[in-house]
Structure 1
Amino acid sequence: MSVLDVFVSVEEPSESCIYWKRKTNSSEIINQNEDKCHTVEPNRLASALSGLQSPGWSETVKKSSWRVATVVLGLLCLLLLIGLITLVSLYIKGSSKWEMEMVQLQTSHKNLTKEQDQLQTSYNNLTKEKDQLQTSYNNLTTEKDQLQTSYNNLTKEKDQLQTSYNNLTKEKDQLQTSYNNLTTEKDQLQTSYNNLTTEKDQLQTSYENLTKEKDQLQTSNENLTKEKDQLQTSYNNLTKEKDQLQTSYENLTKEKDQLQTSYENLTKEKDQLQTSYNNLTTEKDQLQTSYNNLTKEKDQLQTSHINLTKEKDQLQTSNENLTKEKDQLQTSYNNLTKEKDQLQTSYENLTKEKDQLQTSYENLTKEKDQLQTSYENLTKEKDQLQTSYENLTKEKDQLQTSYNNLTKEKDQLQTSYRKLTEEQDQPQKRFEDTTNERNYLERRDALFSQGWVSFRNHFYYISSGKKSWQQSRADCLQKGADLVIINSHEEQEFTKTFKKVIWIGLTDMETERKWKWVDGTPLTTSYWSSHEPNGVPGRDEDCAEIKNYDLEESWNDESCHLERFWICEKILS
Structure 2
Amino acid sequence: MDALDLFVNVEEPSESGIYWKRKTDSSEILYQNEDKCHTVKPNRITSALSGLQSLGWSETVKKSSWRAAAVVLGLLCLLLLIGLITLASLYIKGSSKWEMEMVQLQTSYKNLTKEKDQLQTSYNNLTKEKDQLQTSYNNLTKEKDQLQTSYNNLTKEKDQLQTSHINLTKEKDQLQTSYENLTKEKDQLQTSYNNLTKEKDQLQTSYKNLTKEKDQLQTSYENLTKEKDQLQTSYNNLTKEQDQLQTSYNNLTKEKDQLQTSYNNLTKEQDQLQTSYNNLTKEQDQLQTSYNNLTKEKDQLQTSNENLTKEKDQLQTSYRNLTEERDQLQKRHNHLTMEMVQLQTSYKNLTKEKDQLQTSYNNLTKEKDQLQTSYNNLTKEQDQLQTSYRNLTEEQDQLQKRFEDTTNERNDLKRRDALFSQGWVSFRNHFYYISSGKKSWQQSRNDCLQKGADLVIINSHEEQEFTRTFKQLIWIGLTDMEREGKWKWVDGTPLTTSYWSSHEPNGVPGRDEDCAEIKNYDLEKSWNDESCHLERFWICEKILS
Question: TM-score, structure 1 length as denominator?
Answer: 0.47
Higher relative contact order (CA 8 A, sep 6+): 1
